[in-house]
Amino acid sequence: QVQLVESGGGSVEAGGSLRLSCAASGSALSRNCIGWFRQAPGKQREGVAAISVGFAHTKYVDSVKGRFTISQNNAKNTVYLQMNSLKPEDTATYYCGAGQATYWACTPVEGVFGYWGQGTQVTVSS
């Protein structure tokens, strides 16, 4: 059974920072591609960042480049999303997903991921 648990969400003012965590267990440990996605009210879920665990190869969507950093701690089976310079438009529920992909195909696109966590809320006020 794949289990992904997100944590670290909260409320911050614009310009602030948060670090999200995605702890993997069970079958998720065998997945080599972990991604972060977000869904704002009334909008479709969108990809944010992805990391190819074996290669630490990362990819980001343009809207978060230079502000967000995805990283891994293999000893803790955890992937992080460090979010800096947060904007009100970053407000959303953030999800992590796990999938299996080559490092070049590990991108924040939903079709890559078959397993999802329950999400953690991030609210950025202006």
- Whole-angstrom Cα distance, residue 4 to residue 23? 6
The torsion angles phi and psi of 34, rounded to 5 degrees, stand at -120, 135
3-state secondary structure of 114: strand
- Whole-angstrom Cα distance, residue 55 to residue 81? 17
The torsion angles phi and psi of 44, rounded to 5 degrees, stand at -75, 155
pLDDT at 28: 63
Contact 40, 20 (CB under 8 A): no
pLDDT at 29: 67
pLDDT in tens, the chain (126 residues): 768 999 999 999 999 999 999 999 877 667 889 999 999 999 999 999 999 987 889 999 999 999 999 999 988 889 999 999 999 999 999 999 999 999 889 999 999 999 999 999 999 999
Tell me how far CA of residue 4 lies from CA of 44, 61, 83, 96, in angstroms: 21, 22, 19, 7
pLDDT at 26: 78
What's the order of all strands across the beta sheet hosting 18-26? 2-7, 18-26, 78-83, 68-73
Tell me how far CA of residue 83 lies from CA of 16, 86, 103, 122, 126, in angstroms: 8, 7, 23, 10, 16
